[in-house]
Amino acid sequence: MVTELVVIPKGTHNILRRLTGQSRPDIALSLAIKELIHFRVESTRARIAAYEEKYEMVFPEFEEAWKNEKIQDRYSYPVEQDYMQWETALADLKLLEEILEWQA
């Protein structure tokens, strides 16, 4: 295993210590990152839920309806944006969940 030395500026260390209550910078940084990932998971799930509520279906159903031309105004800018952002949110969630598994 290769160990790399990381220098954490004093101000950043103070912030990490105050946020996490940990004086050891390695533990404080680990806790802060884990908390950030959990926050991002929850906000990404909320974005996905908003699309599911808006279209009253989950993404695979939306994608199928899109392909079968059952989505009204499917080539309009707002609907295309929703499609791309919804798909991106799902990919983001998958990545974040994988990262959480690495930390386990």
Q: 2-53: per-residue pLDDT in tens? A: 778 888 899 999 999 999 999 999 899 999 999 999 999 999 999 999 999 9
pLDDT interval class at 1 (50, 70, 90): low
List b or e across 65-96, with b for residues whose CB sees 16 or more CB atoms inside 10 angstroms: ebeeeebeeeeeeebeebbeebeebbebbeeb
pTM of the model: 0.84
Q: Which two tokens stand for residue 64?
A: 């199928």
Residue 6's pLDDT is: 81
CA atoms within 13 A on the CB side of 55: 26
Other beta carbons less than 10 A from residue 3's beta carbon: 5
**Residue spans per domain, the chain:** 36-103
Q: Which two tokens stand for residue 52?
A: 């599911």
